[in-house]
Structures are given as C-alpha cells and as structure tokens.
Amino acid sequence: MSGVRLKDLAGRKNPLTEGHRMCPGCGSPTALRQAFMGIDDPVVVVGATGCMEVSSTVYPYSAWRVPFMHVAFENAAAAISGVAAAHEVLARRGAARKDIKFVAFGGDGGTYDIGLQALSGALERGHDFTYICYNNQGYMNTGAQRSGATPRGANATTSPAGRVLGGKLERPKNMTEIAAAHDIPYAAQTTLHNPADLISKVRRAVETPGPAFVNVLTPCALFWKIEPSDQVKICSLAADTRFWPVYEVIDGRHVLSYTPKNPRPLEDFLRAQGRYAHLFKKGEERADLIAQAQRDVDEDWEKLLGKCSRSALTSASS
C-alpha cells in the first residue's frame, strides 16, 4: 500500500495505549490502533458505549493519550457532530488548532442498530469526521446477543441455536452500503487481514473532507469462540471466503481492494469458529444452513462485483 511503512508507524506513540482492559485476542483495539496509524494530525476521539469504551476508560485511568469522550450508546455520531461544529467556530476564532481530525467509533450494535439514526443524520449533515465501526457482529459487551450485523446461522444468546432453530435466522444489514447510500465522499470496509489496508483506508477517510465511514470486521475471540492467537487467521479467512469483501466506495464508485486469488469455501470460515459449532455437530449437521450461508455470501459478492464493474465503466467513460 502506498504511503504506509509499517516499520515507521510501529515506532510511533499510538493514541490508544497498551494496558487497556480488552480481552486477549480481541480485534477491536487492534483495529483502532491500526486506524490511528493512518492519522498524522492531532485527533479527538468519541466512542459509543461498548467494549472499547468501558475497557479503555476505567476511572481513574484512561487508555487515551488524546482527548476522548463517551456520551452514550446510540449517539457517538451526534456527539462528534457537536464537537466538530464547535471546532469550526473555535478554530476560526483562534481558540483551537485548525488541524484537528475527528474520529468516532462504535461497535456494530452502536452503529447498525441503536446508533443508526444518529449516524445517518451526521452523514447527511456532512460534518468532517471519520466513523469507524468495529464490527464483531453482536452485542459482545453484554454477552453475545444478536445484532443487525450478526450473520445468518451464527449462534447468539438472543438467537440461540436450539433443537428447532439454528441460530440467527435473518440476514444482516449491509451497513457499508447504507452508509455509502448517503452519498458521502468515502465509505469502506475491511478487516484485520492486512494492517496496511486498514491504515491506508483510514488515512484516506480522514484526509477526505466531509464524512467518511469505515466498517472493520473485528473478531471477538470470546464469543466467536476462537483462539486469541487466531485473530489475523480468522480475518484472512473472512476475506478469502468472500464472507467480508474488502472494498471502498470513493465518491460513489465501488472499488475492490482485495480479490482472493483462490477463494475458499465459506465452510472454512464457519468451521473455524465455535459460534457456528451447531452447524457441524456430529450426526446433526446442518448442511442446509451452511449452504444458505454460502448462498448469502455468493449473492452479496455478485452484487458487489456488479457495482464495481459499473463504477469501472462510468469512470472509463467519463
């Protein structure tokens, strides 16, 4: 990736310190630390209620080397709107530095579900900020309840795999497309398969004037039921099975950032996680649900490819 030299970035002090209280193997602090590597200017951070927030600000400590605010669960985007609005006035008057960047983050619950309205409003109003969703596909802070981001077939504590029902029955929302549909200048989704990808996406997001949205799939070792050391491995599987396509929407144009050379069957991703264990239980295998999950992925991928090729055609003809 152009402009990203991990060796240089690794030596810099990260806004998010070590010593926070996130679980071993959690993908969310990895995602945020990588994200901040893409930001050179001073940054002000707003976090929605969730694992990241409770674990990084255990009073009287704070894991934030930069200004940080948490207001509530559903309103990180509204809070950053207010901060950015005040900044416009105060910077004009010389009461604040002009070069500050604004980052809001929330989990998938705080983004896809309860925070969707505030996010939609902030995107529509066009504040200059970057919203990062650390998406572990469930309400992990409260014990793995299903969210609008939980994939079909996954076991969650409010859509448990039982004798009759096989985990969550509904398809997740496509939040990246919902954000992009606000005609914001930049939306992207990625995962932790390649640090340079996330870093460069966040760099682009913060350097683009106006709102930007970055959706990062981050494993929850505890409730995806994976080994903490398998964080990168599971993210690579998500990308290589096309479960989580890595792409950008730049001024409305869809561009794939990563095309798996030898795409793997979704089953490889599912089998690697305990949250899908019920699909593979000996003698009670749910081939139907596995096939359905594969169909979901294939359909989404085809749709995305269609958008990418249309975008390629439009930019070629313009």
Partner 1 sequence: MRRVLVCSSLEWWVSWLDCGDERAAPGRGRCGRIEMTSGNLAFAEAMRQINPDVVAAYPITPSTEIPMRFAEYVANGEVDTRYVAVESEHSAITACVGASVAGGRVMTASSANGVALMHEIFPIAASFRAPIVFGLVNRSLGAPVNIHCDHSDSMPERDSGWVQIYCEDAQEVYDTVMLSVRLAEHPDVLTPVFVCQDGFITSHCYEPVEFLSDEAVRSFVGAREPRYPLLDVENPVSYGSFTMSEYYFEIKRNQIEGLNHVQRVYGKLSSEYFALSGREYPVIDRYMSDDADYVAVIMSSAAGVVKDVVDDLRGDGVRAGCIRVRMYRPFPAMELREALRGKKCVAVLDRSASPGGTAPLAAEVKSALYMQPDRTPVFDYIFGLGGRDFFPSDALRVFQDMMEFRYEDGARYIGLLEEDDQE
Residues that bind partner 1 (CB under 8 A): 42-44, 46, 53-55, 57-60, 62, 64-72, 74-75, 77-83, 85-90, 92, 95-97, 100, 117-118, 120-122, 124-125
Residue 66 and residue 14 in contact, taking contact as beta carbons nearer than 8 Å: no
CB-CB neighbours of 4 under 10 Å? 17
Residue 130 and residue 205 in contact, taking contact as beta carbons nearer than 8 Å: yes
Residue 205 and residue 123 in contact, taking contact as beta carbons nearer than 8 Å: no
For tokens 């939306």, the residue is: 187
Instruction: Name which of 55 and 174 has its Cβ closer to partner 1.
Output: 55
Residue 36: CB minimum distance to partner 1, A: 13
Q: Six-digit token pair at 150?
A: 């939980």
Residue 225: CB minimum distance to partner 1, A: 26
Closest CA to 180 of 199, 152, 205, 147: 205
Instruction: Name which of 121 and 263 has its Cβ closer to partner 1.
Output: 121
Instruction: Name which of 72 and 255 has its Cβ closer to partner 1.
Output: 72
Instruction: Name which of 66 and 196 has its Cβ closer to partner 1.
Output: 66
User: Which residue type sits at 317?
Assistant: S
Residue 98: CB minimum distance to partner 1, A: 11
Closest CA to 260 of 167, 194, 172, 208: 194
Residue 52: CB minimum distance to partner 1, A: 11
Residue 133: CB minimum distance to partner 1, A: 18
Cα distance between residue 87 and residue 93, in whole Å: 10
Instruction: Name which of 73 and 186 has its Cβ closer to partner 1.
Output: 73
Q: Between 116-125 and 76-92, two packed helices, what is the crossing angle to 10 degrees?
A: 30
Instruction: Name which of 61 and 309 has its Cβ closer to partner 1.
Output: 61
Residue 205: CB minimum distance to partner 1, A: 19
